[in-house]
């Protein structure tokens, strides 16, 4: 597939008012995703599998592979002593480890690859940041974002920024929330599960907007902290289910995206 961005400009700074630069940035993002797909360098999107099941599935699969090797070695030793039931049990256990492996993470691999093949980068405006979740290695941020599903130009991007800012004010309680948006604002505030799923936003907020609930590793962001209203999410536009929206490494957002994010700091409007 020919990558349109091959003939594009070398972006450095992208202003949200510069329509040509914003369009070039979106083209570059599509080009970067195409490079990832053509070279199957899935580590840029988080690796395979990622999501769609228990995070420990990959480790369990590794243990099963080692289990097969160890049990087969044991079976060879046992065969020296007996050809009876013990040998058959050990051999059966070894091959059971091998046969179970695809069931442990096969489905997650398939779903991850399907998402990576069809996903697109979409601009999103942070409307709510919750207390951080802690893991062993990282401090994760729990966010709700307003995703623009059909943002093509700088005008579209500015509209998304304005709509996201308005919604953020409602969620923060700075402005009186219109009656039709109260259920949505309430659900953003009280949402318990930030599973990478999306819901449609009411048309009064804007056309073709959706709300995504995400857990973000700030290390993926340009400033390594949620300090901008703007981020780009990788999402399957045709599926709002859990795990189908996520934040990927900011290197894939394109050159100039970091400057665009810096120009929209979170604290100024929040």
Partner 1 sequence: MNLADLRARLTRAEKANDLEKLLNQTDDGLPWHDFVWMLQFPAFIGAGILVAFMASDAKPQDAAPPPAQLITLAVLGLLGAAMHFLHPFFRNQVQKKQYRVRKKGLVVPAALVQANSMWGQVDEWLYGSVLISLDPEVVSRPNLLADAGEIIFATKDKDRSTLPKDQREVAWTLYHELVPVRSVKVPESLTPGLSKCIMASVQLPPEALCEGPLLFALALPNDLDPTAIAILPEAAGKA
The residues binding partner 1 (CB under 8 A) are: 3, 5-10, 12, 31-32, 35-36, 38-39, 41, 44, 62, 65, 69, 72-74, 76-81, 83, 251, 255
Which residues are bridge partners to 124 per DSSP?
147, 231
Would you call 129 helix, strand, or coil by DSSP?
strand
Measured from the CB atom, the residue of 61 and 245 that comes closer to partner 1 is 61
Q: Is the dihedral of CA 200, 204, 208, 214 positive or negative?
A: negative
Q: Tell the smallest beta-carbon distance from residue 75 to partner 1 (Å).
A: 8
Nearest residue (CB) to partner 1, 47 versus 173: 47
Work out how close the CB of 73 gets to partner 1 at its nearest, in angstroms, rounded to a whole number.
4
| H or E element at residue 213 | strand 209-216
In degrees, rounded to 5, the angle at the alpha carbon of residue 253 between the alpha carbons of residues 252 and 258 is: 125
Task: Considering the complex, state which of residue 85 and residue 192 has its C-beta at the smaller distance from partner 1.
Answer: 85
Minimum CB separation of residue 245 from partner 1 in Å reads: 22
| φ/ψ of residue 73, rounded to 5 | -60, -45
Mention every residue, 6+ apart, whose C-beta is less than 8 A from residue 47. Answer: none
Q: How far is the CB of 43 from partner 1 (least distance, A)?
A: 8
Q: Which of 91, 90, 94 minimizes the C-alpha distance to 67?
A: 94
Q: Which is nearer to partner 1, 44 or 262 (CB)?
A: 44
Question: Is it true that the peptide bond before 49 is cis, omega within 30 degrees of 0?
Answer: yes
> Three-state SS for 37?
helix
Closest separation in Å from C-beta 133 to partner 1 = 27
- For residues 108 and 114, what is the distance between their CA atoms, to the nearest angstrom? 10
CB of 69 to partner 1, least distance (A): 5
C-alpha span between 104 and 100 (Å, rounded): 7
Q: Nearer Cβ to partner 1, position 10 or 176?
A: 10
Residue closer to partner 1 by CB (options 9, 106) is 9
């Amino acid at each position: 597939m020919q990558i349109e961005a091959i003939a594009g400009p070398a972006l450095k700074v992208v202003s949200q008012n510069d329509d040509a630069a914003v369009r070039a940035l979106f083209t570059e993002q599509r080009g970067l995703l195409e490079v990832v797909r053509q070279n199957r360098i899935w580590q840029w999107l988080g690796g395979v599998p990622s999501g769609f099941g228990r995070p420990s599935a990959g480790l369990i699969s590794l243990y099963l592979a080692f289990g097969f090797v160890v049990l087969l070695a044991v079976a060879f030793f046992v065969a020296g002593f007996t050809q009876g039931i013990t040998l058959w049990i050990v051999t059966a256990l070894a091959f059971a480890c091998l046969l179970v492996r695809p069931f442990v993470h096969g489905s997650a691999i398939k779903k991850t690859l399907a998402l990576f093949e069809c996903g697109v980068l979409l601009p999103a405006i942070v409307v709510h940041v919750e207390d951080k979740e802690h893991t062993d290695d990282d401090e994760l941020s729990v966010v709700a974002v307003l995703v623009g599903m059909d943002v093509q130009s700088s005008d579209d991007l500015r509209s998304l920024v304005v709509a996201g800012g308005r919604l953020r004010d409602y969620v923060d309680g700075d402005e009186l929330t219109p009656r039709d948006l109260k259920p949505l604002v309430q659900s953003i505030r009280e949402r318990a599960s930030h599973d990478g799923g999306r819901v449609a936003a009411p048309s009064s907020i804007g056309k073709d907007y959706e709300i995504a609930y995400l857990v973000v590793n700030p290390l993926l962001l340009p400033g390594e902290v949620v300090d901008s209203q703007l981020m780009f999410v990788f999402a399957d536009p045709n599926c709002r289910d859990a795990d189908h929206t996520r934040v990927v490494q900011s290197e894939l957002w394109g050159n100039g995206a970091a400057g665009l994010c810096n120009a929209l700091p979170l604290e100024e409007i929040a």
